[in-house]
Structure 1
Amino acid sequence: MFNIDAVPNVFYLIFANAFTPMSAVGGFAGAALAEIIRWGVARGLYSNEAGMGSATIVHSSATNEHPATQGFWGVFEVFVDTILVCSVTAFLILTTDAWMTIGGDEASNMTAAAMADVFGSSLAGMIVTISLFVFGFTTVLMVTYFGEKQAEYLFGHAASIAARYIVIAAIFFGAIGSLLFVWSLLDIMLALVVIPNLITLVLLSGKVKEATTDYFKNQFRQGHEKVTEKQDRYYQ
């Protein structure tokens, strides 16, 4: 295992600097704790889309015996994306000290530098390039699908076709536009999506609780009993 001896210190850095941020390191030098949390939450939402309501467009097209089943898949995907993938990336950067050698204004290069420290520059560059291409391409497909389905629901099939061209134009604009302006615009658009969705979640919390309780009392128990019956027949 590479740099396994540095893992305990990584946990210390994460928890210590979460509440007493280092003023000399990172992209938020001298920022208050509230500002750091604000940026962390915003970037986290870009990663897992929790609370945005967009993933429900895909989940709603799935077929399950109980709605709570698909809900748990939604929870699972957030866990994999944030707790596993993002945490592994953070551990890689912290264990190789890439965060100390690269400034916050070049934070996008930290992952590549950390991988280069472990795998070498050539292999690291290939891994990062392929990963960025796959992540970017799948994100474009996802956003296009979301845009099409929302436009189709609101304005009909013709609007879904127009939505494709809007997405293509947005991709081009994002590629040539100022990074600071793009992030600021995305933050505003994110708030416009999250706020009404969170209000809706609060209003529907009773139904969510009802469905979850029903799942564990009935569906989950029945499924467990069916599995037990199959196991009993197998071992007889």
Structure 2
Amino acid sequence: MDFLNLFTAEPEMVTFLKAIDSLVWGPPLLLFLVGTGVYLTLSLGFIQVLRLPLALRYVIRPDPSDKENLGDISSFAALTTALAATIGTGNIVGVATAIKAGGPGALFWMWLAAFFGMATKYAECMLAVKYRTIDENGQMAGGPMHYITNGLSDKVYSKPLATFFAFSGICVAFFGIGIFPQVNAIADSAAITLNVPPIYTAVVITVLVAMVTIGGIRSISKVALVVVPFMAIAYVIGCLIIIATNLESIPSTIALIIRSAFTPTAAAGGFLGSTMILAIQMGIARGVFSNESGLGSAPIAAAAARIKEPAKQGLISMTGTFFDTIIVCTMTGIVLVMTGAWTSEYEGAYMNSYAFSTGIESIGAYIVGIGLMFFAFTTILGWNYYGERCVQFLVGVRGIMPYRIIYIALVGGGVFLTLDTIWILADIVNGLMVIPNLIALLALRKVIVKETRKYFDGLEEESKNY
């Protein structure tokens, strides 16, 4: 069996990958992921609720003095770079695959994971700034591999743990979130909306990715600064139009989502039915794919921010999960359930296109199709940078250019892979990346709480002096 056949996947290979996926995303990892978020939520005093207004204010009104701080890009650029890597197929196709497999209840578990994940995102991005370093090229280098090695005192296990994280990060960039799901989604969207053959799409994407990624983080952030806010707003407006024209369906839609989260979902139309366990598994796994809270990827972008206070960047980065899942994924999920698309025979991008075509007959398919193409493209760019930083940690800056070449070469391959195989493989490598990051967060829990208290105590002291 050659490499391509491995992924275009023979039935026995799909069965094998599903078995590994069920093992990786079994109850232990689900409890570990959500449990870490719960612990950090309690330890930080529900920071994702009480400090969210402050975090949003930092995003909307950046501090001009931050330009003078050490870093490669602005805090907002770091946030949009992280959002570029998160707002993508996870918010559109990922929600569709979660609901198709786990029923409407999967969306509820995405919400739950995102709520506690906001505290996790705050903690990991705060640590990224606190323990970041400067590489041989003079660029900021940070993320879990750095706060593991620089923050943990026990070097016996910290180095292997950091190495495992970096290796897993490269696997996610190559075979998980980074390339295959995004390219496949772009190819499907181009075929649906523009009738472009997949092979042409593959060539165009490869060329565009090469043009941007060779420029590094500054080039990627410039694209993200323009594309991400514009396309996110346009996509959400499209969702709101569909919801506004079906206001009478909102109570029954929400009721179905909540009811399905705690009871088995019966077969309906093209939906084959699911258990509560499957809804939980799909909701949390796809939630991590979408907002990447706990995955350890966003801290890599956060470490490049021109900012002095680690806690401040943690707050700014925390809003990424809010925008990604609480807003964008919710819009997608409600539209899929409200229009009945989840019971159709379609899956993936085709299900989203069907939902939008049903909700906005004339331009619905174009909104989701074009939006998905832009979202997926920026995700490819963001994950190129994440994988690059992992390579830099493992072998130094000499490995960056070979990594970029391999990454660009793999981009075209996503159009030839089956949807099931792509998402199962992505789930597996995501889970491997989550484990060392969560271990580090719990090991550094005292540092997280201490740094947070110091920052907010400082803010209170400043307010008293005015």
Unaligned runs of 5+ in 2: 1-243
Structural mapping, 1:54-203, within 5 Å: 54-100=297-343, 102-103=344-345, 106-121=347-362, 123-203=363-443
Alignment of 1:34-73 (within 5 A): 34-73=277-316
d(CA) in 2 for partners of 1:92 and 1:138?
23
Report the alpha carbon displacement of residue 188 of structure 1 after superposing the two structures with TM: 1.8
3-state SS in 2 of match to 1:106:
coil
Q: Contact 2:265–2:274 (CA<8 Å) still a contact in 1?
A: no
Aligned twin of 2:460: 221
Q: Does 1:2 align with 2:211?
A: no
Q: Is the 8 A contact 2:263 2:275 kept in 1?
A: no
Gaps of 5+ in 1: 230-236
Give the stretch that moved more between structures: 12-21 or 112-121. Answer: 112-121
Q: Secondary structure at the match of 2:437?
A: helix
How many angstroms apart in 2 are the aligned matches of 1:159 and 1:27?
Answer: 47
Change beyond 3 A, Cα 1:164–1:95:
same
Work out the CA distance in 2 between the residues paired with 1:46 and 1:205: 24
Query: CA offsets, 1:44-89, max 9 Å, x none?
Result: 1111111111111110111223211111122110011000000011
Instruction: Provide the secondary structure at the position in 2 that maps to 1:38.
Output: helix
For 1:225 and 1:26, the matched residues in 2 are separated by 62
* Cα drift, residue 211 of structure 1: 1.2
Q: Is the 8 A contact 1:147 1:160 kept in 2?
A: no
Residues 85-124 of structure 1, C-alpha deviation per residue, up to 9 Å, x if partnerless? 0001111122222223x13x62432322222123214x11
Shift in Å, 1:129: 1.9
Q: CA deviation at 1:138?
A: 0.2
> How many angstroms apart in 2 are the aligned matches of 1:28 and 1:167?
36
1:133-179 deviation digits (Å, cap 9, x = unpaired): 11111011001111112212321222111111222233233321232
CA shift for structure 1 position 8:
1.1
Residues matched between the structures, number: 223
Q: Residues 185, 93 of structure 1: CA spacing in aligned structure 2 closer, same or farther, 3 A cutoff? A: closer
Contact 1:144 1:167 in 2 (8 A): yes
Identity rate, percent: 36
1:232 is matched with which residue?
none
1:20 is aligned to 2:285: no
Q: Distance in 2 between matches of 1:120 and 1:99?
A: 18
Larger radius of gyration: 1
Could you tell me whether the CA contact under 8 Å between 1:6 and 1:95 is conserved in 2? yes
CA RMSD of aligned residues (A): 2.1
Distance 2:328 2:313 in 1: 21
| Cα distance in 2, alignment partners of residues 71 and 26 from structure 1 | 44
Deviates more, 1:180-189 or 1:82-91: 180-189
Taking structure 2 as the reference length, what is the TM-score of the superposition?
0.45
